[in-house]
Structure 1
């Protein structure tokens, strides 16, 4: 990105009217909610440490869809309706068959040394999945100065021990590397109308925005500095990107071009987000009191929170 583009986006942020609202709980009692997707009238998400895919309606009625072997990450659907879900530590994408049996859809265990992370499946059934590249918990434990800077909100592009890649997985399960040099790839969405792929780079404090070729290959990478460390992301019906800010316990609405127009706050760490609901104007947030696996399983304090974003332009 050029200095001129950065200056323009800075002026846009300064001149933008900010709308702030507060989320309220919808569904509780989980270890760590993640990767929310609005699908067929319900919010689908994963309980990462209990290794489950769950769906909840807007009345708060929850259903466990499937138990997943291994730690569970992103999810999406093939055009025929079959569910795809990331088994992070197995480094595989699994597919839920009509029989209720999970089978291997794509196996990346031979190339991914750590964990797979979030995933987005586009309308053609092509999946985009990222890898972590390194263990962030271990890195924080070994680098107390980095951890202190993170929690203090001192934002910079961090010098991570390894970069991560983004993989493009075709509907038949074949895959290829679509992008690399990512500073901890995390939340992923595809804007079908704009034919763009958006990736949150958590320790890069930015979004990477790619154009997509006809075969789904990412190209023309544009960097959007955020001024905070992003985690999950989601699109709203007006083409803006909601980005979670876990350090400040909120989600922020970022328009194309970088202007921030709204925030939704929570009382817990805000990890993932999706826009949906019957009116398409509800922001669903995955929130947790802790991201440490053992503590999360002991407390079961993770939730799905919601807020109306109808008035946030």
Structure 2
């Protein structure tokens, strides 16, 4: 049976990304418009904040406020005032990079990646932020890092090489260092590129496909379980939301679509929702 996918927020984002459910609402960003969004599906209320540069993600912080990944590093973000305060730049040696995607784990660690803003040079890296201290993961650099997702027990990291169309499964040690990566999922030619990913309550990985017209669910062994078709090509990431975390919200993008494609995809860039048939995991607040 086909799953109904509905446009629930007609935002028309150029590059909608980083959705997460936190503090009773859906948060996400439009990277290219340099904007943070908050949307309450229950009431339709929405609010947006302008960021000082391209913003790849925001995450809630333990004790209040949020942390944001901008082109030039980590910033504190205060939704009450709209202010951004720089914290740390892990890549001053790569001025052409920007931060791209992130997640937190049960210990409050932030796993985040960078990418070449021109999407070609192998300068993107994965980092871990523990208590405000940033360390390089040691994984090989790629053009676009994406979709870091962490298992519920914080012992496995899923790391995406978008242009390589590979998702790696990596053990996480108690000291936050990583073990040997194993190729977990390879996206075949013609199916788009793996973008953001998230783990559900059953330990399965949901992978959004940029240029692939949908979202896929893979079991813990990496086998494809189901595909959710979308009416737009560029699906960037999903988040489990609602009071019971049983609604999937997806960000999408207009980026890269020419006039003909935009005419054929009038809903491109909107936020969508569908019933995933499974609940998600609560987002952990970052400890910084």
Pick one of 229, 238, 243 that aligns with 1:278: 243
Q: Distance in 2 between matches of 1:122 and 1:266?
A: 29
CA RMSD of aligned residues (A): 2.7
Q: Distance in 2 between matches of 1:300 and 1:253?
A: 23
Q: Secondary structure at the match of 2:32?
A: coil
1:86-97 correspondence to structure 2 within 5 Å: 86-88=69-71, 91-97=72-78
TM-score by length of 2: 0.82
- 8 Å CA contact 1:20–1:262 kept in 2: the answer is no
> 2-side partners of 1:106 and 1:57: how far apart?
31
The whole-number CA distance in structure 2 between the counterparts of 1:300 and 1:250 is: 14
Q: Deviations over 1:73-117 (max 9, x none)?
A: 0221222232111112xx211112476322112222423342221
Partners of 1:293 and 1:73 in 2: CA distance: 23
Distance change >3 Å, CA 45–CA 251, structure 1 → 2: same
Give the length in aligned residue pairs: 266
Aligned 8 A contact 1:189 1:197 in 2: yes
List per-residue Cα deviations over 1:185-222 (Å, max 9, x = no partner).
Answer: 11112223252111121112111122212222222312
User: Relative to 1, partners in 2 of residues 1:293 and 1:49: Cα closer, same or farther, differing over 3 Å?
Assistant: farther
Structure 1 residues 116 and 60, CA gap change in structure 2 (3 angstroms): same
Deviation at 1:179, TM superposition (A): 2.8
Aligned counterpart, 2:129: 169
Segments of structure 1 that go 5 or more residues without pairing to the other structure are 1-18, 140-160
State how far apart, in whole Å, the 1-side matches of 2:21 and 2:49 are.
Answer: 17
Match of 1:266 among 230, 238, 254: 230
- Structure 1 residue 223 displacement after superposition: 1.3
**Distance 1:62-1:99 versus aligned 2 partners, 3 A rule:** closer
User: Which of the two has higher C-alpha Rg?
Assistant: 1
Q: For the Cα contact (< 8 Å) 1:77–1:121, is it kept in 2?
A: no
Give yes or no for contact 1:49–1:293 (8 Å, CA) kept in 2: no
**Aligned equivalents of 2:47 and 2:27: distance in 1?**
10
- Under a length normalisation based on structure 1, what TM-score does the superposition of the two structures give? 0.76
For structure 2, the 5+ residue unaligned runs are 280-288
Q: Structure 1's 98 and 283: CA in aligned 2 closer, same or farther, altered over 3 A?
A: closer
Q: Is the 8 A contact 2:55 2:99 kept in 1?
A: no
The answer (yes or no) to whether the contact 1:242–1:254 under 8 Å persists in 2 is: yes
Whole-angstrom CA distance in 2 between matches of 1:260 and 1:301: 25
Counterpart check, 1:108 vs 2:64: no
Which has a greater percent of helix?
A: 1
Which of 191, 209, 216 is the matching residue for 1:245? 209
Tell me whether 1:235 sits opposite 2:194 in the alignment.
Answer: no
How far 1:251 moved relative to its partner? 0.2
1:205-216 to 2 correspondences below 5 Å: 205-216=165-176
Cα drift, residue 168 of structure 1: 1.4
Say if 2:8 is the partner of 1:26. yes
Aligned 8 A contact 2:7 2:267 in 1: no
